[in-house]
Structure 1
């Protein structure tokens, strides 16, 4: 298989490609690796790797061109593109790019699709990240970090690159302080800060996408409590009686994806 620097192989059980887009960070919710392992389908599942920051401007189109170039260079047909949460906004753009390159439009399935809300999404994830480490930070550090994020939103609501860089810098400062208190190796601190910067980059890229496609119509699959952000016809939606955390490992989801790949489910 051609070099896939931006994609990770999840499983290879057949010639057709299934492209999976999500940020595979440390979380309790199931990911596409579990879906790929369980899906009874003769396909090759690839997962987008966490994108590294590339400086400014960091635009989706050049990244998209490279992602799709690598995939098409394998010589394998793209059967489907799957997106989860904010990755749904990237999955639609990948599917369109594959079709624009003269290939058959892949089936596009979006799980608990969400459109990242620009600067607010960046600030929310910063808050979530420092909250996860709250027991190792002082109250003053946490309060100051919250106020810092609020000031950035108030003063520079449209400057996503500036906000992302500032939040990544503040996160690194906090993780440096935490690592010092816990006597953690600097490699661990660097992994934390690099992972957070990558996640902010991912959110910025996803915010440049959307839930629409130029070729075909995505299938929207929702967990039990998910409220779709985009109205879709009933025949384009499936609601499963499963929690969000288990959506990508649930047997119903696995069967649905297998049916889509075999052409036994249409919308």
Structure 2
């Protein structure tokens, strides 16, 4: 079994089964559905491994290759074939990069299925931070929400700012505010610190994704697109300066971005894609 600090085994179909990888940053209580919700509807004959991002603060600026290297080493140690790589939102960047690396190591390249994929830039990090704050509105004061939102907007408008600088400066402002709100809500100090660090790790995860080019992997990907205008291909196709994104196929569903992985029609489509194994695949 892989190191649980590197891969979370959502489902184990046995040592002879192929693996499907899922790149995501799931946290308890988030509004978006996750791969654990999708899995039961897939009738899996494969094991599902989900990425575990390292605990890091965004100011460390860790190279994205460190994320990929840890994940890939565990796959190689398992000796098992990866049938497909899936990714959700910013996780689709890592999915595309992992798929390209695995295509060099396996006789048959894994299939690639991504859900509202995002190229990570400052607007993406800004949007994702807004979702983090949105999940905390029950414990943040109006003044705190306004301060965090205002800081994020000022930083996002700063000429030439890069995702790592944006995330590091925003996290520095968030840390005391978020910690204070969690303590007011009655959480123990160590748990409050853990949750604040998780936000930092998420921002660092976005920074790492911003340093990868997933488009070679996406070129043979099937994309599952929601009806949310500010997510995935919908946003990229209307954003000036974003080069055309080449993909192999697309399935659109008129559901919210947050509901993609919990929608039965999506699960039915994905089950069909995973059942159509490439010749020689596991």
Report the TM-score range of the alignment, normalised by the length of the smaller protein: 0.7 to 0.9
Deviation at 1:135, TM superposition (A): 5.1
Q: Give the alignment's TM-score, normalised by structure 1.
A: 0.85
- TM-superposition CA deviations, 1:209-239 (whole Å, max 9, x none): 3442259711111123456235446x61112
- After TM superposition, the structure 1 = structure 2 runs for residues 160-239 of structure 1, keeping only pairs within 5 Å, are 160-213=163-216, 217-225=220-228, 228=233, 229=236, 230-232=244-246, 236-239=249-252
Q: Give the alignment's TM-score, normalised by structure 2.
A: 0.81
Q: Which residue of 1 aligns with 2:272?
A: 259
Deviation at 1:180, TM superposition (A): 4.4
Q: Which residue of 1 aligns with 2:56?
A: 53
- Answer yes or no: is 1:44 the counterpart of 2:57: no
TM-aligned CA distance change 1:138 to 1:38, over 3 Å: closer
- Answer yes or no: is 1:98 the counterpart of 2:102: yes
Q: Which residue of 1 aligns with 2:149?
A: 146
- After TM superposition, the structure 1 = structure 2 runs for residues 17-96 of structure 1, keeping only pairs within 5 Å, are 17-25=19-27, 26-53=29-56, 56-96=60-100
Provide the aligned length of Structure 1 versus Structure 2: 264
Preserved CA contact (<8 Å) 1:4 1:71: no
- After TM superposition, the structure 1 = structure 2 runs for residues 115-134 of structure 1, keeping only pairs within 5 Å, are 115-116=119-120, 118-134=121-137
Preserved CA contact (<8 Å) 1:24 1:50: no
**Any unmatched runs of 5+ in structure 2?**
237-243
- TM-superposition CA deviations, 1:102-155 (whole Å, max 9, x none): 442100011111222x23333333344334434544444444333433443444
Q: Matches of 2:128 and 2:259 in 1, distance apart?
A: 21
Preserved CA contact (<8 Å) 1:126 1:171: no
Q: Matches of 1:255 and 1:127 in 2, distance apart?
A: 31
Moved more, 155-164 or 61-70: 155-164
